[in-house]
């Protein structure tokens, strides 16, 4: 295998990538004997922009009669055209990491040396001459995308009215290196067989579908693999932890590592002195009980402490694989009680302490808010701030679970793996949990009013296929999984008398998140009991996105938006 490391921007621009890959690809076939390679079995392979390089090079090498011919082209979610940015997948997944529409357009403009002010012209297609569209529409149109892929697709008026000034600025977009999809039929017909990979939750999904149709129309053999899971989540998360989420020290925040008994905690205090007692924030981090740490969330906590002028305590609870249920809840509760008893030490106003958490940490925030209601000797929690929380482990057939089960950073498979490991449930019972076979009929009869998908607004039920849930009761499954129903794991199901006493809440949900509907269920429960709720729904958000707020180039607008909204809410208290 030969890996081509081409030059990239910002130092280099069009057509350097294509030239580098082509030159390296010509050199390698000429020296195959040196590497012991069979000249009849050479394939080219690439992903994303590398897939674009593959299609271009495969086409160019057709004319190189002095070189071995390529045996096959292997394209993994390739970009094969940069003309029609109004395809269904561009609309449906424009905010899904790791390739958002905005990031795609930024990279395109930088590489092609196009002023970013022309971005909207590219998106609307106003730079496309009418004769060009007339010629190539048959290959570029969304009419070529199967109906099953057009869910939630609003057919646009595309291309927009022709703008000659835009065309003159961007006419180099139409050269063959950038539009391998548009090669003549005679070229496409000569191409080697193809193996195409598309991912459902990908802004480029429809590029693969368009290219597949072009190849098939010309009789080129191939296979397509659709709707892959994004990746194996534990390995991917470890990569992010090691390479991306590194803590940085903020000179405006004093950070102190402490131990509350055996529980590590980290205290964040604004360096500037305050004339009065500050707000207190108790933060429980996410990570599905397996990932996350004080270092992982260091920058998020430092930002919140600085921007809200608050004292923030982050709890470093024990996690998998060493520790299991109910360790996480016990650690967080014990650390919270200790902090509340020593607020004076840290200069915290006891009437302005909030609990805050994301993902599993949001669920912990709910549970601890409920438990502390009975602690009359402690200051009462002023508010609960819950960022895409998990607050129930019973109904895994809600609309968002179906719609976003393969979206990073929390896929359904990863969530179920962590749940089983934490609760020490044999993974063989996973399907029983998903189908609800472990739920006793009398339990469901009692709690259906709070757990059912009927509580989810219709606007969130797109593509939702209502299942038969729960399935037929399996007593063996119940006996193996009955600790699922403990209050630590099901704070959504607390009695009305408890819910009615809870403090006001600030709830954050993200559209592209398997846990979106947990927030919606909890919102309804609070509102039904008259608890003030501020709900912040992020349409371009996804699970765990706040961790990326300062991690360029991996940051997304939704990351900062959520933290800014949390800051505004805390400052209002």
Strand duo 504-512 + 348-358: pairing = unpaired
Cα gap 159→170, rounded to integer Å: 15
Written in H, E and C, the secondary structure of 310-345 is: EEEEEECCCCCCCCCCCHHHHHHHHHHHHHHHCHHH
Q: How many CB atoms lie within 10 A of CB 110?
A: 15
SS (H, E, C) 259-277: EECCEEEEEEEECCCCCCC
**Two tokens, residue 92:** 């449906």
Range 494-520 burial, b when 16+ CB lie within 10 A, else e: beeebbeebbbbbbbbbbbbbbbbbbb
The verdict on whether omega for the bond into residue 15 sits within 30 degrees of 0, i.e. cis, is yes
Cβ-count burial 53-64 (b if 16+ within 10 Å, e if not): bbbbbbbbbbee
Nearest one of 351, 347, 352, 386 to 368, comparing CA atoms: 386
CA distance 419 to 415: 6
Rounded to an integer, what distance in angstroms lies between the CA atom of residue 266 and that of residue 246? 16
- Residue of 293, 512, 543, 559 marked active site: 543
State the angle between helix axes of 360-371 and 327-341 in degrees (0 to 180), rounded to the nearest 10: 60
Of the residues 48, 198, 201, 359, which is catalytic?
359
Contact between 417 and 429 under an 8 Å Cβ cutoff? The reply is no
533-542 and 253-260 beta bridge pairing: unpaired
324 included as an active-site residue: no
Separation of alpha carbons 252 and 270, rounded Å:
6
Residues belonging to the chain: 573
Q: Catalytic: 513? A: yes
Out of 202, 513, 517, 540, pick the active-site residue. Answer: 513
Asked if 385 contacts 488 with a C-beta cutoff of 8 angstroms, the reply is: no
Catalytic site positions: 359, 513, 543
């Amino acid at each position: 295998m030969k890996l081509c490391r081409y030059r990239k921007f910002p130092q280099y621009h069009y057509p350097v990538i294509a030239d580098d890959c082509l030159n390296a690809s010509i050199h390698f076939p000429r020296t195959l004997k040196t590497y012991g390679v069979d000249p009849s079995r050479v394939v080219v392979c690439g992903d994303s922009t590398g897939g674009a390089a593959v299609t271009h090079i495969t086409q160019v090498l057709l004319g190189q009669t002095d070189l071995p011919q390529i045996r096959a082209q292997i394209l993994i979610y390739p970009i094969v055209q940069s003309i029609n940015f109004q395809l269904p997948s561009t609309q449906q997944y424009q905010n899904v990491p790791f390739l958002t529409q905005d990031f795609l357009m930024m990279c395109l403009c930088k590489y092609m040396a196009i002023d970013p002010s022309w971005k909207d012209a590219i998106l609307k297609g106003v730079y496309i001459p009418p004769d060009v569209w007339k010629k190539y529409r048959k290959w570029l149109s969304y009419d070529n995308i199967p109906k099953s892929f057009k869910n939630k697709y609003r057919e646009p008026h595309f291309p927009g009215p022709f703008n000659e000034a835009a065309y003159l600025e961007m006419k180099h977009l139409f050269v063959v290196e950038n539009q391998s999809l548009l090669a003549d039929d005679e070229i496409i017909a000569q191409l080697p067989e193809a193996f195409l990979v598309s991912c459902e939750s990908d802004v480029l999904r429809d590029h693969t579908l368009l290219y597949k149709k072009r190849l098939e129309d010309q009789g080129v053999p191939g296979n397509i693999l659709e709707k892959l899971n994004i990746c194996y989540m534990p390995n991917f998360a470890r990569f992010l932890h090691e390479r991306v989420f590194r803590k940085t020290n903020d000179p405006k925040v004093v950070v102190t590592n402490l131990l509350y008994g055996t529980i590590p905690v980290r205290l964040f205090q604004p360096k500037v002195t305050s004339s009065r007692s500050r707000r207190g924030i108790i933060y429980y981090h996410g990570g599905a009980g397996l990932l996350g740490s004080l270092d992982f969330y260091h920058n998020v906590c430092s930002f919140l402490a600085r921007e809200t002028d608050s004292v923030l305590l982050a709890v470093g609870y024990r996690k998998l694989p060493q520790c299991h249920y109910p360790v996480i809840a016990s650690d967080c509760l014990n650390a919270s009680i200790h902090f509340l008893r020593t607020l004076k030490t840290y200069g915290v106003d006891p009437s302005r302490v909030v609990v805050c958490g994301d993902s599993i940490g949001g669920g912990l925030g709910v549970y601890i808010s409920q438990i502390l209601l009975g602690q009359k000797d402690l200051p009462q929690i002023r508010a609960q701030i819950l960022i895409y929380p998990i607050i129930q482990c019973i109904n895994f057939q809600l609309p968002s679970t179906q719609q976003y089960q393969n979206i990073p950073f929390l896929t359904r498979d990863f969530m179920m793996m962590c749940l089983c490991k934490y609760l020490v449930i044999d993974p063989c019972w996973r399907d029983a949990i998903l189908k609800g076979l472990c739920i006793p009929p009398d339990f469901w009869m009692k709690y259906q009013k709070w757990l059912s998908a009927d509580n989810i607004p219709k606007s969130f039920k797109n593509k939702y296929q209502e299942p038969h849930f729960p399935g037929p009761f399996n007593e063996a499954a119940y006996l193996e999984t009955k600790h699922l129903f403990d209050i630590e794991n099901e704070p959504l199901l607390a009695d009305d008398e408890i819910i009615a006493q809870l403090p006001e809440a600030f709830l954050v949900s993200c559209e592209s998140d398997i846990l979106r509907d947990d927030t919606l269920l909890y919102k309804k429960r609070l509102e039904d009991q008259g608890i003030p709720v501020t709900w912040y729904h992020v349409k371009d958000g996804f699970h765990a996105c706040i961790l990326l707020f300062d991690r360029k180039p991996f940051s997304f607008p939704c990351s900062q938006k959520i933290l800014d909204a949390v800051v505004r809410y805390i400052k209002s208290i």
